[in-house]
């Protein structure tokens, strides 16, 4: 009996414990996973033997991120990493990315997602270095990078041919040249964030509309420079689901009527689009019958007429509606709102 018990324990240690370890470890944050490696040689060997655990490197908000990244990419377990996040990490610059290019080139050949959000010390030079190592890159994000210029985007499109998700939010030096590069090289682009890219104009945005017809998500928050002219060709975006136009002060009902032709819209943010009236919102209501989220925050030119139109066409889909600051729309009780929109979970109305 004692021998049988020892055999069962051996089986438990060799088969069951590793399986449990694998299941548990997939649910751990990467930092906790790395801490586990230090507990014992056996745990170290077990975890290292699962390649799927080492497909991402998360250095978000960490100090010495440049040195940490170089050290990680030098380890065999990260030879097929697919995701790297350096969002708001500290102490990483162009020099680190050039070292990675020279010493860790092979480790990035399978990389699909690179997040450089808030990495203020990275310029076009660093973008050129790191993207030259990532031929399979699909997602690239450089939110709030004030050093990146059109030259950096030129390097990106040269080195990475399969991009489907781009975040240029806050990159204030990018111009229509960058939009032209994106339009010419990424016809299968699905998501684009141009928030506060203040140098871009109607002409550049139209190039994206015409050539990136698979776009599903477009964020042009806080860009008052775009006018109705920009939206005349937006109807070609037949797959568009998410559109953020917050602060589009030059958007009028004419432009919104063009946007209404994007019939698959699910989420539309018109916050502070102050020239919009019932006419434009009713056009949206009549065409975009799958709308789930709509913000009309701060628009004084809309009334109950647009709310009634929305109720007729979007009653079964609308879950979030923000009319805070819309003084032409009267206040309603929760029960009255649910009569108009039975699936509404969030409704914001002016005080």
CA 42 from chain center: how many Å?
Answer: 39
Confidence of residue 41 (pLDDT cuts 50, 70, 90): confident
H, E, C per residue of 110-142: CCCEEECCCCCCCCHHHHHHHHCCCCCCCEEEC
Residues 6+ apart with CB under 8 A from 58: 29, 30, 31, 85
Which residue in this structure is represented by tokens 């009334």? Answer: 303
How far is 308 from 88, CA to CA, in rounded Å?
44
The structure's pTM equals: 0.91
Q: Are 287 and 260 contacting, i.e. CB atoms less than 8 angstroms apart?
A: yes
Which residue in this structure is represented by tokens 């998500």? Answer: 217
Q: Is the dihedral of CA 10, 16, 21, 22 positive or negative?
A: positive
Q: Are 273 and 245 contacting, i.e. CB atoms less than 8 angstroms apart?
A: yes
Tell which wins on pLDDT, 68 or 19.
Answer: 68
Q: Residue 37: pLDDT above 80? A: no
Which of these ranges, 2-6, 70-74, 97-101, 328-332, has the smallest mean pLDDT? Answer: 2-6
Which of these ranges, 17-26, 215-224, 252-261, 262-271, has the smallest mean pLDDT? Answer: 17-26
- Mean per-residue pLDDT, 41-58: 86
How far, CA to CA in Å, does 144 sit from each of 87, 88, 99, 139, 171?
Answer: 10, 10, 24, 16, 6
Q: Which tens digits make up the pLDDT trace of 241-278?
A: 999 999 999 999 999 999 999 999 999 999 999 999 99
Q: Are 343 and 316 contacting, i.e. CB atoms less than 8 angstroms apart?
A: yes
Query: According to DSSP H, which parts of the chain are helical?
Result: 2-11, 17-25, 30-37, 41-48, 65-73, 94-103, 124-131, 150-159, 176-185, 202-211, 253-259, 278-287, 304-314, 334-340
Q: What are phi and psi of 2, to 5 degrees?
A: -65, -40
Mean pLDDT taken over the chain: 92
CA 243 from chain center: how many Å?
Answer: 12
Q: Which tens digits make up the pLDDT trace of 174-197?
A: 999 999 999 999 999 999 999 999
At 90 the pLDDT is 96
Q: Which is nearest to 236 in space by CA: 259, 217, 256?
A: 259
| All domains of the chain in start order, with CATH | 24-53 (no CATH), 54-177 (3.80.10.10), 227-350 (3.80.10.10)
DSSP letters along 259-277, please? HTT-TT--EEE-TT-TT--
Query: According to DSSP H, which parts of 104-242 are helical?
Result: 124-131, 150-159, 176-185, 202-211
Q: Residue 233: pLDDT above 70? A: yes
Residues 6+ apart with CB under 8 A from 190: 164, 165, 214, 215, 216, 217, 239
Q: Which is nearest to 296 in space by CA: 313, 271, 325?
A: 271
Which of these ranges, 10-24, 33-47, 130-144, has the smallest mean pLDDT? Answer: 10-24
121, HSE (Cβ side, Cα atoms, 13 Å)? 14
- Mean per-residue pLDDT, 36-65: 87
- Mean per-residue pLDDT, 189-218: 97
Q: Which tens digits make up the pLDDT trace of 305-320?
A: 999 999 999 999 999 9
Which of these ranges, 11-15, 86-90, 184-188, 317-321, has the smallest mean pLDDT? Answer: 11-15
Q: Is the dihedral of CA 335, 339, 344, 350 positive or negative?
A: negative
Q: Which is nearest to 33 in space by CA: 11, 13, 55, 64?
A: 55
């Amino acid at each position: 009996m004692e021998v049988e018990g020892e055999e069962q324990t051996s089986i438990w240690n060799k088969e069951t414990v590793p399986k449990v370890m694998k299941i548990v470890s997939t649910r751990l944050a990467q930092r906790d996973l790395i801490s586990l490696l230090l507990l014992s040689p056996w745990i170290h060997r077990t975890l290292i033997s699962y390649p799927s655990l080492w497909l991402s490197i998360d250095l978000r908000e960490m100090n010495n991120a440049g040195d940490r990244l170089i050290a990680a990419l030098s380890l065999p377990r990260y030879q097929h990493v697919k995701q790297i996040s350096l969002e708001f990490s500290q102490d990483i610059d162009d020099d680190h990315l050039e070292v990675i290019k020279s010493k860790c080139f092979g480790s990035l050949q399978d990389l699909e997602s690179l997040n450089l959000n808030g990495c203020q010390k990275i310029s076009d030079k660093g973008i050129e270095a790191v993207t030259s190592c990532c031929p399979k890159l699909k997602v690239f994000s450089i939110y709030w990078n004030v050093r990146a210029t059109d030259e950096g985007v030129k390097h990106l499109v040269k080195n990475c041919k399969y991009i489907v998700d781009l975040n240029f939010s806050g990159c204030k030096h990018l111009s229509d040249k960058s939009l032209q590069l994106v339009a010419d090289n990424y016809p299968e682009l699905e998501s684009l964030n141009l928030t506060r890219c203040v140098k871009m104009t109607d002409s550049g945005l139209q190039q994206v509309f015409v050539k990136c017809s698979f776009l599903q998500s477009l964020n042009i928050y806080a860009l008052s420079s775009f006018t109705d002219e920009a939206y005349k060709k937006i109807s070609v975006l037949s797959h568009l689901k998410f559109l953020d136009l917050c602060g589009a002060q030059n958007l009028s009902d004419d432009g919104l009527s063009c946007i209404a032709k994007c019939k698959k819209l699910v989420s539309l943010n018109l916050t502070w689009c102050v020239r919009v009236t019932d006419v434009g919102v009713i056009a949206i209501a009549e065409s975009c019958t799958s709308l789930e989220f709509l913000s009309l925050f701060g628009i004084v030119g809309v009334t109950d007429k647009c709310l009634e139109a929305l109720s007729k066409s979007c009653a079964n889909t609308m879950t979030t509606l923000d009319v805070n600051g819309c003084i032409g729309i009267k206040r309603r009780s929760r029960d009255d709102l649910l009569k108009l929109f039975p699936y509404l979970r969030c409704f914001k109305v002016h005080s």
